[in-house]
Structure 1
Amino acid sequence: MTKMINPARLRGFAVARADASNPTAILNEMRTAFEAFKAERTKEIDDLKKGLGDYVQTEKVDKINAELTSLQKSLDAVNMTMAAMQIGGAGGAGQTPEAAEHTQAFNKWFRRGDRAIDADLRDLEVKAALTSDSDEDGGYVVPEEMSNTIDRVVGTVSVMRDISQQMTISTDTYKKLIGVGGAGSGWVGEKQARPETDTPTLRELVFNMQEIYANPAATQKMLDDGRVDIAAWLGNEVAIEFAEQEGAAFISGDGVNRPRGIMSYDKVANGSYAWGKIGYVPSGKAGGFADPTASVSPADAVVDLYYGLKQQYRNGASFLMSDATMGTVRKFKNADGDFIWQLPTGSAELPTILNKPVRTDDNMDAVAAGKFPISFGNFQRGYLIVDRFGIRVLRDPFTNKPYVHFYTTKRVGGGVQNFEAIKHMKIGTS
């Protein structure tokens, strides 16, 4: 039987957790906890305004707030697990005969490392349209269903992959021209002269492929077991490592041997925004946000960030921050006394701030002087992730006997493609 939170017990710090495998139960518990949180936070603010601030009351609020963060993590984990259960290998469904033959040959090579099939496996890569020439880096292209398993698990785990634009190419570099200043235009009468207009300004963006790798190991005995699902095993072993490495790079990567993250570009006050830089709005206080008793609400900075993004990008925009920062913003009230953070409307949905979804990624900055803990933007339009087609595996039975290592690599690039579509919040320094 599912246990639910009693608000009175919450205020006394006792917490009974819902069934961690049931997203509906978790959401119901979140609803109950959030009602308790709102009541206690409102009392805390009212007491502070009266000069009656109480440590015990603040501790109550923080306790429930931490529980809400924990429940949100549990809900995200359940949804991720449910999505991962639907991934797995394709089992050959819809494959061409050539692709099915390649899968069979690959699995034989994966288990046995039989060099007698090397040439045949390379030929089958070409026939199955997995590659068009010899691979100068060594290794073999994994079958499509195995590649899809890895890519889908990575997409489930990596927040930036979930919210950004993605494309696949077959070269080492992707170049894109962006218009940053359109051709001039104007209204004219039937017989009026048409003066020459401005020439459009184009900028070239270059996305270079960088290599990411994982090196899982298995015993030969395990590989000899015909019941082992090779696609699922490799996908599970590799995907999480890829997702964690990519996730960090898409946020803070410097572009050297890794993608360039959203935080690595020059940042300027939003009023001084220029192409090639990302605009920011201030938090309103040195080292953090405005006090709830101040004439300027801490929520005002979030509202400024919201409206700092042009209207054309707000449709489809989302907030991006760490779990800890979301716990801080959850306490904010607007000028009408309403909390700007709201619960998910369904077990598969996301919490919202100002009616926009909130995505959490602990690679984001913490709240500290001079840091940028919150981003708001239309990441589908603002950030591009480019994958080079094909994930490759090099079988190594010699380095660490009796284990067989599978050196698995893929190439990926990333960077901002529209600097207008993303804004940051900067915590004040003085």
Structure 2
Amino acid sequence: MIPVVETKSTSDDVASAFEDFARAFEAFKDANDTRLGEIETRLTGDVVTDEKLVRIDAALDDAKRRLDRMTLERSRPPLGGGADASRDPVQAEHKSAFHTYVRSGEASGLKRLEEKALSAGSGPDGGYLVPDTVEREVLRRLSGISPIRAISSSRVISGGQYKRAFSTSGPATGWVGEAAARPQTTGPTLSEMSFPAMELYAMPAATQTLLDDAVVDIDRWIAEEVEAAFAEQESAAFIKGDGVNKPKGFLAYDTIEDEIWEWGRLGTVQAGGASFPASNPSDVLLELIYALKAGYRQNASFVMNRKTQSAIRKFKDDNGQYLWTPPASLGQPATLMGFPVVEAEDMPDIAANACAIAFGDFKRGYLVVDRAGMRVLRDPYSAKPYVLFYTTKRVGGGVQDFAAIKLMKFAA
């Protein structure tokens, strides 16, 4: 009889969701062990067992997504900024003026505040700045649901781009005796990296009835409406963006085989074929792990999509232990060979010439740049009877340390 893995779709209990996920993984292991036993006995797997494994694998993915969503929702603090507003009269005045603008379109309060602050921002220039509490909440939510942002380093800038210098070659050094001459050495070679901030927008819509309802938390509504749109666009750009009017993703950089790696390119480890090798597939994962220097490896993570993770779940070591293990507790990621696994759906599937798996210390390897200030422009005319809120933020990104990220590339 085929075991059925059920998840409680109506329950909001995170602990219950975690138990469902753990049971789903145990069922997955049992079904996969049965499949492997059939292959050893008959040289092929039973069709019924294969179908059961696919069903359980899908249920495991669903349980993981539900657990992630519930954990994220539970961690969100309320947006009612009473404490912050009481400590900062200017912020309280800005928030009150912003709410008046959103609900009724009256912008005189915001104009006065931005003129007082010598801000160039006005309606014709692209909208009005949202309160700081809303901007912080949007960025915090994006960190929770945008996979690459969550593991990368970030900087908030006030200008249009962030620049930093890096050394392509260090100064010459050497050992000398106590009284020996100290010949002049060559200095370091410096170059400059630039991370421009590009404009990202979302346009949530609301009825005037919703805006007139005093019970509705406008701050929370805006944060919830734009987070999904921003996160979806950011996630794709941080992985495969071409850098034209968007951040440059790490897969858009030139690659080179790791044995001849050079600065400015990402090193690749070859998988040996268009898929994992049939025997000892974990060997290529070990090669990817140890292609990274020890200083980066201690804080490294795997990045892959759901289909790739599904294939790797079946792998075992020489002792029969699964290489992929589920989260040990609530809020923790799954691990692969002891390293966290980040699921990013914009990563390519396992295929010929695809870099389907990334491994590295993304805190040191990838930089996300946020331009301070998120703007909202109210538009009650374009889609009557709905009121549109053209919401923009500026964000950039790119690789800042090419030695910190390695890719697994599948051959043609």
SS in 2 for 1:218: strand
The one-letter amino acid paired with 1:207 is: F
Q: Find the partner of 2:385 among 402, 418, 421.
A: 402
CA-to-aligned-CA distance 1:36-76 (integer Å, 9 cap, x gap): 43343234334434553123333333333232222211211
SS in 2 for 1:192: coil
The one-letter amino acid paired with 1:252 is: K
Deviation at 1:385, TM superposition (A): 0.4
The one-letter amino acid paired with 2:221 is: W
In structure 1, the partner of 2:252 is 264
Q: How does 1:292-307 map to 2 (within 5 A)?
A: 294=279, 297-307=280-290
Q: Does 1:45 align with 2:33?
A: no
In structure 2, the partner of 1:312 is 295
In structure 2, the partner of 1:203 is 191
Q: Name the CA shift for 1:336/1:167 in 2 (closer, same or farther; >3 Å).
A: same
Q: Find the partner of 1:58 among 18, 32, 50.
A: 50
Q: Check the 8 A contact 1:384/1:416 in 2, yes or no.
A: yes
Q: Does 1:341 align with 2:331?
A: no
Q: Check the 8 A contact 1:153/1:240 in 2, yes or no.
A: no
In structure 2, the partner of 1:93 is 84
Aligned counterparts of 1:270 and 1:234: Cα–Cα separation in 2: 45
SS in 2 for 1:289: coil
Q: Check the 8 A contact 2:6/2:59 in 1, yes or no.
A: no
In structure 1, the partner of 2:63 is 71
Which range is displaced more, 417-426 or 99-108? 99-108
Aligned counterparts of 2:107 and 2:330: Cα–Cα separation in 1: 50
Q: How many residue pairs were aligned?
A: 408
Q: How does 1:8-19 map to 2 (within 5 A)?
A: 12-18=2-8
RMSD: 2.0
Q: Does 1:288 align with 2:279?
A: no
TM-score by length of 2: 0.93
SS in 2 for 1:207: strand
The one-letter amino acid paired with 2:57 is: N
Q: Does 1:25 align with 2:13?
A: no
In structure 2, the partner of 1:377 is 360
The one-letter amino acid paired with 1:340 is: L
CA-to-aligned-CA distance 1:76-115 (integer Å, 9 cap, x gap): 121122123x253423525411111111112112211125
Q: Name the CA shift for 1:110/1:60 in 2 (closer, same or farther; >3 Å).
A: closer
Q: How does 1:182-261 map to 2 (within 5 A)?
A: 182-261=170-249
Aligned counterparts of 2:381 and 2:28: Cα–Cα separation in 1: 58
SS in 2 for 1:319: strand
In structure 2, the partner of 1:356 is 339
Deviation at 1:35, TM superposition (A): 3.2
Q: How does 1:54-203 map to 2 (within 5 A)?
A: 54=45, 55-84=47-76, 86-91=77-82, 93=84, 95-117=87-109, 119-123=111-115, 126=117, 132-134=119-121, 137-203=125-191
Aligned counterparts of 1:424 and 1:152: Cα–Cα separation in 2: 28
In structure 1, the partner of 2:399 is 416
Deviation at 1:221, TM superposition (A): 2.5
Identity of aligned residues (%): 40
Q: Check the 8 A contact 1:92/1:145 in 2, yes or no.
A: no
The one-letter amino acid paired with 1:16 is: E
